[in-house]
Amino acid sequence: MSKKISHSKINPPPEKEEHAPKITTDTSRRSFFRKIWGWVALAAGIELAGLSIPFIGSGRKKQTKEKSGNFTAIAQVWDIPEGSVLPYRSGRLYICHLKDGGFLAVSIKCTHLGCSVEWDEKKKEFLCPCHHSMFSLNGEVINPPATRALNIYPLKIEEGVIKVNLENPIQRKHYNKSQETYA
């Protein structure tokens, strides 16, 4: 059964090389025109590319909003107990009140693949439902697969009012104390 059948017999013969019939009456005028057509084809190609690439590109730029440096008032300092968070859903962030009294505006977006993290009040950590990353109150990774701390937003406190610039998320590798703002 396992005896091999000679294979060459069953396979169709290898493809014949197909050649376009050679034009033997090639004159210099013909080859000149052929070259011209080649250039015209190239020009047509460039035209189409030149049309479509800016077309797609410019539409994209217009539809992304222009960034302003505006800060939005979100909460008051005494709204948030120490060691806890206040979710601000419409801005997709949490205001975190750290143990040492500092405040951070931490993005809701998991740095792994972008799901929204949830605050677990009992365990005092953020949990991502997608691949089970965990983050501490200051956004630092406790459990992979996420590889860097949650993004933060510029935050300032004026007369007890917490204001956040919602348009400029800041990427960071790790948490450090200098990122905090104090009341």
To other proteins, the closest distance from the beta carbon of 158 in angstroms equals 26
To other proteins, the closest distance from the beta carbon of 69 in angstroms equals 18
Told to check if 145 binds ligand FES by CB under 6 A, we report yes
To other proteins, the closest distance from the beta carbon of 33 in angstroms equals 30
The residue among 124, 89, 84 whose CA lies nearest residue 103 is 84
What is the residue whose two structure tokens read 């539409």?
Answer: 59
H-type helices in the chain, by residue range?
A: 7-10, 28-63
Beta bridge mates, 141: 135
User: Rounded to 5 degrees, what are φ and ψ at 125?
Assistant: -150, 160
The residue among 102, 108, 76 whose CA lies nearest residue 90 is 108
By CB under 6 A, name the binding residues for ligand FES.
Answer: 110, 112-115, 128, 130-131, 133, 145-146
Rule CB under 8 A: which residues touch other proteins? 1-2, 4-5, 7, 10-12, 14-15, 60, 63-64, 89-90, 92, 108, 112-116, 118, 127-132, 144-145, 147
